[in-house]
Amino acid sequence: MEFCDDCGSMMKAVDGVWECGSCGFTKPKGDAAQYTVTDSQEATEIIESSEETSLPETDAFCPECGNDRAYWYMQQIRSADESETRFFICTECEYKWREDDN
């Protein structure tokens, strides 16, 4: 994502250049290698599960293997005025499922 140097609006990539839809300012599109992810930015939204995890555990029935324990976390995936979605990861088979409020 790139922002206009003149007016600050978000620019669009058009044929190898960045073009501002508001004021018409253009500049060459840089190499993808020049963009970096800092420590404060997340490179991914995916939460990987492993043998050692900091996620809390709870009693939850795994629909895949029948285990009765799972790690869990909550994530806002719909509009802000709706409740969060609960995600579970089985402690045995690492099957992942979600539970929505209906």
Average pLDDT over residues 50-66: 84
Which one has a higher pLDDT value, 26 or 36? 26
**Domain parsing of the chain, residue ranges:** 1-31, 57-99
Place 41 in a pLDDT band, splitting at 50, 70 and 90.
Answer: low
| Lowest pLDDT segment from 4-8, 31-35, 61-65, 73-77 | 31-35
Range 57-99 has CATH code 3.20.20.70:
no
DSSP annotation string for 10-65: BEEEETTEEEETTT--EEEPPPGGG----TTS-S-S-----SS--S-EEE---TTT
CA 71/CA 87 separation, integer angstroms: 8
pLDDT of 32 above 70: no
pLDDT of 54 above 70: yes
Residue numbers in the known binding site for Zn(2+) are 4, 7, 20, 23, 62, 65, 90, 93
Average pLDDT over residues 15-24: 84
Residue numbers in the known binding site are 4, 7, 20, 23, 62, 65, 90, 93
